[in-house]
Amino acid sequence: MLSSRFARRSALAGAAATLSIALSACSASFDAPTLQPYQAAEGTNADSGSVKVRNMLVLADADGKGELHTVIVNDGVEDDTLVKISQAPAGTQDGQAGSDQPGVVTFSELKAPLDLKAGTATLLPPDASAQTETETGEQPGDPITVTGGKPGQVVNVTITFGKAAPITTYIPVLPDDHYSPAPAAE
């Protein structure tokens, strides 16, 4: 009799151990938090195939006048172009948590589609200290100005490319002195 009781207890202990291992393994799946990408930057990251938008944000003053800042990486083997960035229409879904639109936010039009050469990264706004004329005599692109987005708001935007599918995502609006090396004068 003692041996059958011992066998049942051993079986129950084994089942409990197996169940605890199985339940703890659930958090070690492919969706485990430690396996998810972590975005340390304050801007937004979004992808459309081989075109990757990194750290997109707006730096603006209290009146809602600012500039778009981002890096667009083309990891593909084909060149692409940035055609347009605009506020997404009301009600556009992007699958991300976000807030209501802050009102009308406008982005300046590009003079021409911005080249996104394969295997390169394009900085917006262009680095003013590194701007020189291109081989064809053209000046590098101007900054994309933004009006209507005030610091603390989040804007739902649509980014349109020549070949890659459009991206709709939320981007934050931060104070224009946010990345200043010195505190703002009061």
Rounded Cα gap, residues 107 and 127, in angstroms? 19
Condensed to tens digits (0 to 9), the pLDDT of residues 118-177 reads 999 999 998 766 545 444 444 456 899 999 999 999 999 999 999 999 999 999 999 988
β-bridge pairing 80-87 and 114-116: antiparallel
Condensed to tens digits (0 to 9), the pLDDT of residues 17-36 reads 776 776 665 555 666 666 66
Rounded Cα gap, residues 58 and 143, in angstroms? 11
Q: 41-175 falls under which CATH superfamily? A: PCu(A)C copper chaperone (2.60.40.1890)
Question: Cis link prior to 125 (omega < 30° from 0)?
Answer: yes
For residue 90 the two structure tokens come to: 């009301």
- Contact predicate 143/128, CB 8 Å: no
pLDDT score of 63: 94
Condensed to tens digits (0 to 9), the pLDDT of residues 77-110 reads 999 999 999 998 876 665 554 455 678 899 999 9
Q: How would residue 39 be classed by pLDDT, with cut points 50, 70 and 90?
A: low
What would the mean pLDDT of 46-66 be, rounded to a whole number?
Answer: 95
